[in-house]
Amino acid sequence: MSIMSIKTGCCERLTKKQIRSKILLRLKTQKEEDRDRKSKIIKRKLFRTPVFKKAKIAMFYMSFDGEVNTQEMIKETRRLGKIVAVPVCKGNRVTLRPCILRNNAKLKKGPYGICEPAVKKYIKLEDLDLVIVPGIAFDKKGNRLGRGRGCYDYFLKRLTRNTASIGLAFDFQILPSLPATTTDVRIEKVIFA
């Protein structure tokens, strides 16, 4: 089944694993110039949202593996005087904790090969105003398909009502619907290009 058949509504018959596999392949094979161009459009859209403008502390994911590029977003967010946090994996259950990302921070690879600060300064969940969430796929209801470990679902479930959650995606990652279970946590908004 092609990625186009996912877009036209056949995704209800595909498993999470099948959807994940098809979209990961598309992420990895997307031209770098398309990724950069679309990431810039997504950045502009994000920065225009009221919730971003109002946020004092924003948590971004550290992009990798073809995801929407967050590096420029992080730099610009700091230039605007906001505090930037990134997720750090902790423990056997792989719990995410928000950690301040300082200017010129030394980075190291975490448990899944994702960069995180070498020196950690954790902050409380309730201090976050906004969480920028990665995903393999999203649907119009705010359902999100991650990499299958449940890290973000567990993390999002623990956020306070005052913390907004926004997913970032390329247009081919937005599907009509996704299979969801009771452990999946919806996000409030998805910004895509």
CATH assignment at residue 47 = 3.40.50.10420
Contact 177, 141 (CB under 8 A): yes
Q: Where are the beta strands (DSSP E) in 27-185?
A: 57-59, 83-90, 95-100, 107-109, 115-117, 130-133, 137-139, 144-145, 164-169, 174-175
Residue 40 counted as domain residue: yes
SS3 73: helix
Q: Residue 39's closest CA among 11, 6, 75?
A: 75
Residue 100 counted as domain residue: yes
Q: What is the pTM of this model?
A: 0.90
pLDDT of residue 11 exceeding 60, the answer is no
Residue 15 counted as domain residue: no
Q: Residue 43's closest CA among 171, 174, 175, 168?
A: 168
Residue 17 counted as domain residue: no
What average pLDDT is seen over the chain? 91
Residue 185 counted as domain residue: yes
Give the pLDDT band of residue 4 (cuts 50, 70, 90): very low
More confident residue, 183 or 66: 66
Residue 188 counted as domain residue: yes
Residue 13 counted as domain residue: no
Number of domains the chain is built from:
1
**Euclidean distance between CA atoms 124 and 159, whole angstroms:** 10
pLDDT tens digit string along 101-138?
998 889 998 877 889 999 999 999 999 999 999 999 99
pLDDT of residue 1 exceeding 60, the answer is no
Residue 115 counted as domain residue: yes
More confident residue, 163 or 13: 163
Characterize the bridge pairing of strands 189-192 and 164-169.
parallel
Domain extent, residue 158, equals 3-7+26-192
| Confidence (pLDDT) at 150 | 83
Average pLDDT over residues 61-85: 96
Q: Tokens in use for 85?
A: 């946090």
